[in-house]
Structures are given as structure tokens and as C-alpha cells.
Amino acid sequence: MAFTLNGNPLAVDVAFKTSDGTQYPANWLRLATAQEKTDLGIAEIADPTVYDSRFYWGNGTAKALDDVNATDENGDLLKDENGDQIVTLGVKSVLKAQEKVTAGTLLAKYDWYVVRKAEKSTAIPTAITTYRDGVRTACNTRETEIDACADTAALVTLYGQTEKDGVFTPNMTQYPTDPNS
């Protein structure tokens, strides 16, 4: 919550003075009742709504889920310098690309086992192979879950979590636990 006095903003935990010269301590806004603030002419202003920028623009408008061909102000298709259509990526494409980056990062930690196997024919430990397969499977499943979302609300739910008996469980398939963690 934000506060104003005579149209001027009041910062919480900062001393302030009223128009009649009365000085109030820094903690007054925190300790005063709603009625005491009202009696003094202090108005509470609701904090602006904050939207998840993965799914919404700053004003709360949902971003496009699917890719669209870019157009100019006349509605004509935009082409790049090679004459190829410029495509504006939708939320689903952006999220799936992020999943590929995440999976690649998780796999990269153990790439040296694959290189060693190719160079020296040294076996990759089963735990590492299982983990790497699990990462690829989880990434594919997560991309499928993203594609299955018909609207923004479904995506928001997918990226959220469910609470039951005080335990929070992610709604989306999780990546496997690193075998060396």
C-alpha cells in the first residue's frame, strides 16, 4: 500500500509533517489505525497490479500464444534482408525455447562422459545415462504440456503449483534430480 497526504506521497518508515506543522515519527504509518490515518487526511492507494511478464504485457493484456507473421502498419507482411517472412514468436515458442536451454544446461554438465566414451570407449555410468535420458524426456514432456495449453490461463496454471495439506507441488513435469547432487 502507498499513502498520500494532501495529494503528496508519503513514504513508509520516513517521518513526515502535516500542513499545520505537526511532526510524525517514521513508524507512525505502520502503527496507526486506518481510522487515525483517515482522520489525518491520509489516503491509502492500492499498489498497481503486477502481471507475470512471461504471459502478459505490463498493462495486463495477454501476449499472443502462437507465432504470427510480422506486418507493417499497413498490414503488409514484413520480410528480412533475404526475403524471408519475419515471424513474431508467441509465448509458447518462447517458453519451449527456454525449456531447450534448460535441458541443454542440465545435459552439458555431463557431456564429458559422452566425449570420453567416444574417444576412449569408457562406459558412461548408468546413473548418468538414466539422468540424461530423463532430462530429454522431461524437456519433451514439458514442451508437450506447453503446446496443450489452449489459453493464457492454462499456461499460468501449468507454470504454477498446487497446494495440498501445506505441501506445494509444481503442476508441470519436473526435471530429474541430478545424480551427483
- With bands split at pLDDT 50, 70 and 90, how would you rate the model's confidence at 48? confident
Q: Is residue 1 pLDDT above 80, yes or no?
A: no
Residue 104 and residue 102: Cα distance in Å, rounded?
Answer: 5
Q: 114 CB contacts (<8 Å, ≥6 apart)?
A: 124
The answer to whether 179 touches 131, Cβ cutoff 8 Å, is yes
Rounded to an integer, the average pLDDT of 92-115 is: 98
Q: What is the mean pLDDT of the chain?
A: 95
Q: Is residue 19 pLDDT above 90, yes or no?
A: no
Residue 128 and residue 159: Cα distance in Å, rounded?
Answer: 27
